[in-house]
Structure 1
């Protein structure tokens, strides 16, 4: 009984599990890591080029972002960069000192003005996907730029300049050519050679070797920063030099030969854009976290599973917008567009940021019927293992919000936010659709029809059952008080200035709670279905005790909190 409690219930994690990481690390053990000399590591991490770029751009505070698989080399990289930076700065000082010998300035003045203290920071345990630039962590260090190591999705960043070091990997060109010849025996085959960014430097030599063996229609890809291109982040300059800048090709007649195992999102994206895909698995290395080779022939079954998730979201009433990035450019406008799409369909949306995704975090929101991920084109594809509710991409949400009559599955797929750009006409049409729906509802109410008979029924195509609550916001519009009594509708929700957060709107199937005058299916779920509503709801040892004075706490980033009105450093 709550009245028998003398202390709040224990809700914290037991001490023995405090430091347990639920997500296994992708880094290889020391026993499996190859031994590399300093010269080899300098070549792998491109120490000279990185230091030259830092000096050229005059960056004083640089964040070095490593994935888990490269984290063991991070201390060595920092020391090597510091040595190389000192060499470059000394050489620059020597040249400047020689030029000012005849001037009024002294060499000491030149050294004081030109030689600046550079700070390097190691970023690990990224807030989101390792392929994305972690600008949030870099801003905690007040960094001027980020050096990103390893695989990258190359999504445009929002705030900081980025230097991508893909790392240089060894590859046997003859072995790659032999594998290609086994897959394609016809010398007239039209094929595009592509590689993971870590092996991109080997694409041109492999193409030259295949041309020497008699293949006439072999095309090499080049890296660009355009995830929305036909081949994400790649262009085929030799395919059509006139329209090469558009990076928009019809590749249905071309086969793709990919060096190194690509991410699953890339396989699904290209499955409907090219004639076929072949993969050449690269040797095991400490810089490649993928251990299994994807089977391109399995993409059709994976797409069917994705379509099944789309059908589940089509009948959802509450959809969570899951923010999986705070760095990808234009992610805020994507969130606004998704909200408009969900509201136009008569559903409720909630925007949630949880950092790295796992089943335990998402299970805390039991009222959410499904999730849509706002992230880069790679992190938008979330593994469904262990998840209680489906997680889809913005492209898939666009299909789910269509009616059963207009929804057509063509096999096309995309995982990023680039395909969800807000169009001016689309926003106007969405507003008109909502206004038309509200006008029809008002007319029905005036005619005496106040139930859902005017709306077409919604069926779950997987089970064949009728779903009565798939459009809760339209039900709220229909059941709301008349606008002549002071309430008005805006964007598919009801605003009633006179009502409080605990008010209810009656509807045909029951009641729906209002929060600040806005219909809230989430609040209704909390009121009617949740058995526990938070700390303090079942514990009140001293009702007559005076409340503690509320004081302003800390704010800001971890490296420099502001405490109340005073400035303080943590």
Structure 2
């Protein structure tokens, strides 16, 4: 067997790996799949001159053909946005503004988060659904035809929901479906579902309860709440379904996967997921230094929630530092071991990040508020949309009056140690001592280390700029190839 670091292993490093690549869509089906004509009408109607087309990775294979067709039928200049700054489900307004775009056309899966900077059009990928098998799975999962059920779905299956309702409604009079609603006057969605409520089992006089969340509109019968309904989800297991299940955690969930064409009950995993999230809240209560991760620059009001989190964390006696690093991975966050816990500002679907592989836990703004705001308690309500936490939001809870706060102590459920709250409400008095610990009382101390002191204590502090010390030299051509065998080194063995 050859050594992995020897020149004999070049064929291993340079070998071609077989992967499944999506083939280009036929030109004659481009308009059917990507609504070319409607997109051109949208551009012409508003007289946009520069248009950004945002594609997820799996649809980039068709991006050139789509752009060519749109450019042929409109006078706009087009820019293709591929590798987005954050999740592909969010509208990348920052990248669009870099090219001076007048609007964005977003393709594929979307979280439907509110964006307010640029006019927007959604074009969902129309994935196939076997309605016969979906109907059969639904009837097996819900044998009681009088059950109150809400149909939820991934946006890529919105085109099939009307036909599914037509098949099920005669037998299930209490069946209703969510409708896609894109918030904001600047937004436009060609796939926005406009069905009459009475077609879904609701008469006009019954329709007096409307719930809008995650770009969906739910019409509930008079006298019923969301907990009186069961949920049937059409789509694959993933962030969208997880977001629904965490938010409506008191509802039973079933799903149908159009890829495997099977249905199943989803509810038993919710309690375990909630317990894991509660464990993360306890870690947040124990933390002294909090890192605020900026995971979106496009979702409306992200600056407001950052400011509110800073105030909440400070009032809880903790230090906070803000990080903007694009897409997250384990290696990036491992560079900041001084941080005890991170809180992620992102869209509802991307905020529920599984941090089991990371060196530090990652929580949501709601979980950080539960840990730091004593007026907010852990309950059956779980909030993934940070906009609801802001003043004026339906789940906003004001911070406790600072004058009424006192140093309260409790016991950590993780370490068993005594911990104190609200330790840093007032600035510590200056002392001639260089100690990094300031005595609060006979049993508790609080660290006053700053980011500068953390950096000074590191063995590696980053590359030194040495401005004015490094001589200016003429640029030279660099090496080519891979580290194990640069081209100029020939084929000599090592």
1:222 to 174, 179, 186: 179
Distance 1:294 1:481, change over 3 A: farther
Alpha-carbon distance in 1 for matches of 2:378, 2:331: 32
Q: Does 1:79 align with 2:68?
A: yes
Distance 1:39 1:81, change over 3 A: same
Q: Which residue of 2 aligns with 1:530?
A: 458
Distance 1:511 1:309, change over 3 A: closer
Secondary structure of residue in 1 paired with 2:169: helix
Q: Which residue of 2 aligns with 1:392?
A: 363
Counterparts of residues 360-375 of structure 1 (less than 5 Å): 360-375=331-346
Q: Which residue of 2 aligns with 1:282?
A: 258
Structure 1: stretches of 5+ with no match in the other structure: 1-19, 21-26, 86-116, 228-232, 286-290, 441-454, 483-498, 514-518, 550-570
Secondary structure of residue in 2 paired with 1:252: helix
Alpha-carbon distance in 1 for matches of 2:289, 2:399: 19
Alpha-carbon distance in 1 for matches of 2:430, 2:400: 21
Q: Which residue of 2 aligns with 1:411?
A: 380
Alignment RMSD: 3.8
Alpha-carbon distance in 1 for matches of 2:370, 2:54: 36
1:241 to 207, 213, 222: 207
Alpha-carbon distance in 1 for matches of 2:411, 2:445: 23
Q: Which residue of 1 aligns with 2:146?
A: 188
Distance 1:416 1:456, change over 3 A: same
Distance 1:294 1:395, change over 3 A: farther
Q: Which residue of 1 aligns with 2:53?
A: 64
Q: Which residue of 1 aligns with 2:156?
A: 198
- Asked if structure 2 preserves the Cα contact closer than 8 Å seen for 1:267 and 1:296, the reply is no
Alpha-carbon distance in 2 for matches of 1:429, 1:245: 24
Q: Which residue of 2 aligns with 1:486?
A: none
Alpha-carbon distance in 2 for matches of 1:217, 1:34: 42
**Which string of whole-angstrom CA distances, capped at 9 and with x for unpartnered residues, describes residues 261-305 of structure 1?**
2534543544545531111101279xxxxx999944212111111
Counterparts of residues 168-179 of structure 1 (less than 5 Å): 168-179=126-137
- Asked if structure 2 preserves the Cα contact closer than 8 Å seen for 1:154 and 1:225, the reply is yes
- Superposed displacement of residue 319, structure 1: 0.7
- Asked if structure 2 preserves the Cα contact closer than 8 Å seen for 1:192 and 1:220, the reply is yes
1:461 to 413, 426, 430: 413
- Superposed displacement of residue 354, structure 1: 0.6
- Superposed displacement of residue 176, structure 1: 1.4
- Superposed displacement of residue 245, structure 1: 7.3
Alpha-carbon distance in 2 for matches of 1:184, 1:512: 56
Q: Does 1:122 align with 2:80?
A: yes
Alpha-carbon distance in 2 for matches of 1:427, 1:279: 31
Structure 2: stretches of 5+ with no match in the other structure: 1-12, 185-191, 472-494
Q: Does 1:507 align with 2:435?
A: no
Counterparts of residues 14-25 of structure 1 (less than 5 Å): none
Alpha-carbon distance in 2 for matches of 1:412, 1:235: 30
- Superposed displacement of residue 153, structure 1: 0.9
Distance 1:44 1:503, change over 3 A: farther
Q: Which residue of 2 aligns with 1:521?
A: 450
**Which string of whole-angstrom CA distances, capped at 9 and with x for unpartnered residues, describes residues 467-487 of structure 1?**
57x76635x73x4149xxxxx
Secondary structure of residue in 2 paired with 1:354: coil
Q: Which residue of 1 aligns with 2:298?
A: 327
**Which string of whole-angstrom CA distances, capped at 9 and with x for unpartnered residues, describes residues 57-111 of structure 1?**
11111111000111111111112222333xxxxxxxxxxxxxxxxxxxxxxxxxx
1:473 to 424, 427, 437: 424
Q: Which residue of 1 aligns with 2:242?
A: 267
Higher Cα Rg, which structure = 1
Secondary structure of residue in 2 paired with 1:82: helix
**Which string of whole-angstrom CA distances, capped at 9 and with x for unpartnered residues, describes residues 332-362 of structure 1?**
1111111111111111111111111111111
Alpha-carbon distance in 1 for matches of 2:258, 2:340: 40
- Asked if structure 1 preserves the Cα contact closer than 8 Å seen for 2:376 and 2:397, the reply is no
1:160 to 118, 139, 145: 118
**Larger helix percent:** 1
- Superposed displacement of residue 234, structure 1: 9.9
Q: Which residue of 1 aligns with 2:486?
A: none
- Superposed displacement of residue 364, structure 1: 1.3
Q: Which residue of 2 aligns with 1:139?
A: 97
Q: Does 1:53 align with 2:42?
A: yes
TM-score normalised according to structure 2 size: 0.76
- Asked if structure 2 preserves the Cα contact closer than 8 Å seen for 1:318 and 1:521, the reply is no
- Superposed displacement of residue 172, structure 1: 2.3
- Asked if structure 2 preserves the Cα contact closer than 8 Å seen for 1:259 and 1:282, the reply is yes
Secondary structure of residue in 1 paired with 2:320: strand
Alpha-carbon distance in 2 for matches of 1:36, 1:282: 20
**Which string of whole-angstrom CA distances, capped at 9 and with x for unpartnered residues, describes residues 244-265 of structure 1?**
3766852111111111125345
Distance 1:216 1:158, change over 3 A: closer
Distance 1:432 1:300, change over 3 A: closer
TM-score normalised according to structure 1 size: 0.67
Alpha-carbon distance in 2 for matches of 1:54, 1:522: 48
Alpha-carbon distance in 1 for matches of 2:264, 2:339: 34
Alpha-carbon distance in 1 for matches of 2:147, 2:341: 44
Secondary structure of residue in 2 paired with 1:379: helix
